[in-house]
Amino acid sequence: MKRLAILTLVLAASAALPAYAAEKMKKPRLDLRATPRMAFSPVRILLTAELTGGNDVEDYYCPELEWEWDDGGKSVHEADCKPFEPGVTKIERRFTADHQYNKAGVYNVKVIMRRANRTLASQSVRVTVRPGLGDPTMERDN
């Protein structure tokens, strides 16, 4: 009877271990927001990329972010970080960048998160820029 109780305990503990390990290593999700999402040109758009949920997984520590503005421009954010210490180091979860759009158009802005030349996540958001005063894309009546 004692052997059966020990065997049952060992089986129960080993069955719970993968669930615990999976929860412990849950990776965050990347969200992307543009403010404003619709505006008149010229306009400066603020992009916020945010890691939500998940744990402070080392893979997401000190990433490189590449912003593709969909107007021919790109920006790269790289940080200089201290070594990762499990259980101590907190990952940065919010990253921002801004970009000026001078011409009307619909732009699909994309952010790509990488670490050690490996893509971790990417996300995109659509930004609509309407012709404002002085916009060269605005049709003029002559």
Query: pLDDT value at position 2?
Result: 56
Per-domain boundaries in the chain:
27-130
For residue 27, how many other CB atoms are within 10 A of its CB? Answer: 14
Query: pLDDT value at position 111?
Result: 98
Query: pLDDT value at position 25?
Result: 66
SS3 76: strand
Query: pLDDT value at position 24?
Result: 55
Query: pLDDT value at position 139?
Result: 60
pTM: 0.76
Q: What are the angstrom distances between the C-alpha of 41 and each of 82, 109, 139?
A: 41, 16, 14
pLDDT along the chain (142 residues), means of 10: 48 46 71 98 97 90 96 93 89 95 97 94 98 76 43
Query: pLDDT value at position 114?
Result: 96
Query: pLDDT value at position 140?
Result: 53
Top-tier CATH class for 27-130: mainly beta
Query: pLDDT value at position 7?
Result: 42
Q: Are 131 and 104 in contact (CB under 8 A)?
A: yes
Query: pLDDT value at position 135?
Result: 83
Q: What is the signed CA dihedral for 137, 70, 107, 46, rounded to 10 degrees?
A: -110
Query: pLDDT value at position 79?
Result: 85
